[in-house]
Amino acid sequence: MDYQEALAYIHAVHWQGHKPGLDRTRALLAALGDPHKRLQFVHVAGTNGKGSTAAMLDSCLRCAGYRVGLFTSPYINRFNERIQVDGVPIPDGDLVRLVEQVRPAASAMTDVPTEFELITALGMLYFAQERCDIVVLEVGLGGALDSTNVIDPPACAVITALGMDHVQELGPTLADIAAAKAGIIKPGSPVVSYGGAPEADRVIADAAAACGAPLTVADFARLTLRGAGLEGQTFDYDGLTGLTLPLLARYQPRNAAVAIEALRALRARGWQIPDSAIRQGLAQVRWPGRFELLRRDPPFLLDGSHNAHGMRATADSLRALFQGEKFVFLVSIMADKDVDEMLRLLLPLAKGFVTVTAPSPRAIPASELAARIEALGGRAEPAGGIPAAVARVWELAAGGPAAALGTLYFSGEVREAVADLAKN
C-alpha cells in the first residue's frame, strides 16, 4: 500500500452513513489493544475557537517540555496535519503503516466504523506508539457521541465558545448544543469553559456538578488588550502581563484566556507548566487558515469562519483592523449553514463578492451563492475555480484589502493561489 492508497482507504464511501455512538470506536480500539488507555488528554469541544485553543494548548505544553500529540480537523493543505506530534504532521510512511495495522480490525467488524472513527483510531494508535506525554484532542462534532469521547476522564476538559451550528445533529436550542458539548465532562476531571451564554452556561455548570468536576469559567473582565495590528496582539490576563499572540483576530485573546485557565488547571494537577512556557507558547503559536494574513501589501486575509457565530466575530475583527475600509470577498459556504445571515454580516463591509464552489459536496454552487448575494443587495460574480476566483478578487480589489471567507475546505487551494499570484 502506498500513501494515496492509504488515503483512499480512509476516505472510502463504505465508512459513511452510520448512526452516532461510541460502540464502534470502542470495539475498534479494543481490537488494537486500547492505545487510548495509555495516554492522557486535554479534550476540547465547542462551536468556534476549539481549533485555535487546541493549537495554543499544544504550543504551550511543548514549550513546557512535554511530548505533545495534537488531533484536529479539518486539515488545510494535507490530511496528515490532522495527527501531529510535537508540531510535526504524521509522516506518510507512518500513516501507511498504521492504515495497514488498522485495516484488518476495521474490516472484521460487523458494524464497520465511520471515517472519523477510523481516523480517531489511527490517531490514538500513533500517539501511543510515539509515547506522547499528553494529547490535545479536538472533538469532531458535538461531544457526548463524538468518537473522541471514548477516552477515560481527561487531565482537563475544555469547552470553547458556543453558538448555533449543527442544529440538525445536536438540537435546535443553545441548551441542546451545550448539553452535547458537556458530554465530554467526566467524573473528577477539571473543566474550563469560555462562558458568556447564560442558557449554555447553566447546562455546563449542572453537568460539571453532577460529575463532581471542578469548573472554571474564563474571566474576561481580567483581560486587557494592550495593542493590535497586522503583526499580532499584546494583552494582559489575570496577572500575566505583556502576553503576545501572533494570531490577528480580535477574539483570539479570549481563546488564549481559556487556554491559560486550562493550563493552570493542569498545573494544579501536577503538570509542570511555568508561566514562561505559557508566555513563549502563545508567542509562537501558529494556526493556518484562521484569520491568516496571506499577503500584506495589498492585504489578503483567509479565515475559515463557517457559521454565523464565527462570521460575526470575523466581521468585528475586520472592522477593528481595517477601520472604514471596504473588502472584496471571496466566499464559499456550505448549504447546511445559516447562509443569508452570514452574508448579511459581510454586506456592510463589502465592495463586492466573488463566489466559488469549495471542494465539498455540501458547498453551495458558486452561481447559486452569487444569486443569493445579489438578492440581498450585494454585487457578486461566480468564478469557475479557486485560482480564477483569487485572480479576479485581486483584480477587483485594485490595491485594497481582500478576504477569503466561509469555509476551511477551500483554505489550502486559496493559500496556494495567493502564493502563485504573488510570484507573478
pLDDT digits over 46-70, tens only? 988 999 999 999 999 999 999 999 9
| In the predicted structure, residue 171 carries a pLDDT above the cut 80 | no
Mean pLDDT, range 178-188, rounded to an integer? 95
The yes-or-no verdict on residue 165 having pLDDT over 90 is no
The yes-or-no verdict on residue 237 having pLDDT over 60 is yes
In this predicted model, which residue has the larger pLDDT, 47 or 91? 91
| DSSP H or E segment with residue 121 | helix 115-129
* Choice among 161-165, 244-248, 280-284 with the minimum mean pLDDT: 161-165
* pLDDT score at 163: 78
Residue 227's pLDDT band, with cuts at 50, 70 and 90, is very high
Distance CA 391, CA 313 (A): 26
pLDDT tens, residue by residue, 6-42 = 999 999 866 666 788 899 999 999 999 999 999 999 9
Q: What is the 3-state secondary structure (H, E, C) of 239-293?
A: CEEEEEECCCCCCHHHHHHHHHHHHHHHHHCCCCCCHHHHHHHHHHCCCCCCCEE
- Residue 296, C-alpha cell as written in the block: 500584506
Number of C-beta neighbours around residue 389 at 10 A:
26
Question: In this predicted model, which residue has the larger pLDDT, 172 or 408?
Answer: 408
Average pLDDT over residues 190-211: 96
| Mean pLDDT value across the chain | 94
- Asked if the model's pLDDT at residue 401 lies above 50, the reply is yes
Percent of the chain whose predicted confidence (pLDDT) is above 90: 83
Q: Determine contact, residues 258/192, Cβ cutoff 8 Å.
A: yes
Is the pLDDT assigned to residue 196 strictly greater than 70? yes
First to last CA, the chain: 39
What pLDDT is stored for residue 169 in this prediction? Answer: 58
> Does 414 have pLDDT greater than 50?
yes
Residue 391 has pLDDT above 90, yes or no: yes
CA pseudo-torsion sign 306, 310, 312, 316: negative
Among the listed residues 111, 167, 77, the one whose alpha carbon sits nearest the alpha carbon of residue 412: 77
Map grid coordinates 454586506 to a residue: 347
- Of the two residues 230 and 259, the one the predictor is more confident about is 259
Cβ atoms 223, 257 nearer than 8 A: yes
Conformational region of residue 400, where left means phi above 0, alpha means psi within -120 to 50, and beta covers everything else:
beta
Greater confidence, 90 or 14? 90
Confidence (pLDDT) at 327? 97
Q: Higher model confidence: residue 404 or residue 165?
A: 404
Average pLDDT over residues 193-213: 95
pLDDT at 360: 87
Bigger pLDDT: 92 vs 48: 92
Number of neighbouring beta carbons within 10 Å of residue 5: 12
Element (H, E) at 387: helix 386-397
Q: What interhelical angle do 275-284 and 252-268 show, nearest 10?
A: 150
Task: Return the SS3 of 386.
Answer: helix
- Threshold 0.85, pTM exceeds: yes
Q: Residue 268 and residue 356: Cα distance in Å, rounded? A: 48
pLDDT of residue 18: 74
**Residues 77, 412 contacting (CB under 8 angstroms):** yes
Mean predicted confidence (pLDDT) in 212-221: 98
In the chain, % of residues over pLDDT 70: 96
* Closest to 291 (Cα-Cα) out of 269, 321, 334: 321
Cα(16)–Cα(113) distance, rounded to whole angstroms?
8
Q: What is the pLDDT of residue 289?
A: 87
Residue 166: pLDDT band with limits 50, 70, 90: very low
